[in-house]
Amino acid sequence: MSTRRDFTKGALASLAAVIAASAPARAATAAFDSLREKPLRIGVLIFERMDQIDFTGPFAVLSRLPSSSLAVLSKDGRPIRDHKGLRLTPDLALKDAETYDVLQIPGGPGQEALMEDEAVLSLIRRQMDAQRVLFSVCTGALICGAAGVLRGRQATTHWSAFDLLPFFGAKPVRSRVVVDGPLITAAGVTAGIDGALNLAALLRGEAVAQQIQLDIQYAPDPPFYSGEPQTAPREVLEAVRGRYEPLTNARRATAKRIATKLGV
């Protein structure tokens, strides 16, 4: 029978494997190499009814990167509330945003309201057109998909929305973190920490990423094995899937409409 220690070792081994697997992408991607020695400008979008961990988890990592600055953006520069009521305050409105070295797009239920928001989609397109790094967490990948930048690229997202990725021309990969050129996608919520550590390794080297991991004591040791649909008890999966159903149906309808626009 598996033990918590076995589960923890497996989780940390998986993280190490993902970082190791990113080495070919790192070697092949000038977007990361060109940033290795320069000061970094990082932008993060926040929005109403997002999931704050999609932002605050990676923030714990990215804010510790040497020689970097981080700007928090919202559509109008006003504070927002995440879908559980936490208030977050941005630094800038979208109209004042730059093209950043790294742009992070979180997810959460509020993602639906941005799927056809041209100001947000244009920000994402500009980032990729400039061959800068784009980092999505959870269903932030769907927003990126709506911008048309996932076409032909490998990507992942939250398990409840994973089967929607092909509507945006993406190649779905069941992994906590996927690196495809300058695009990094992380799966649901807490996977954003894994994604940010991989990004830290790509931008500043694995030694720096490991120092940050130790600093934040990121050593997952969950009390249950319910963090993935494949390991959760059937009754747990059915209960959570049922709660997601209205949002999943809305996301599917939106994805189909956008697929038509994108010609996918």
Question: Would you call 138 a catalytic residue per the annotation?
Answer: yes
> Is the separation of the CB atoms in 142 and 170 below 8 Å?
no
Tell me the HSE value of 67 on the side-chain side, using a 13 A CA sphere: 10
The two counts, helices (H) then strands (E), for the chain are 9, 11
Pick the catalytic residue: 53, 120, 138, 203? 138
H or E segment to which residue 74 belongs: strand 68-74
Residue 249: how many CB atoms within 10 A of its CB?
A: 10
Burial class (CB in 10 A: 0-12, 13-18, 19+), 113: middle
Q: What is the DSSP string of 203-217?
A: HH-HHHHHHHHHHTT
In angstroms, rounded to a whole number, what is the distance separating the alpha carbons of residues 45 and 61?
16
Enzyme catalytic residues:
138
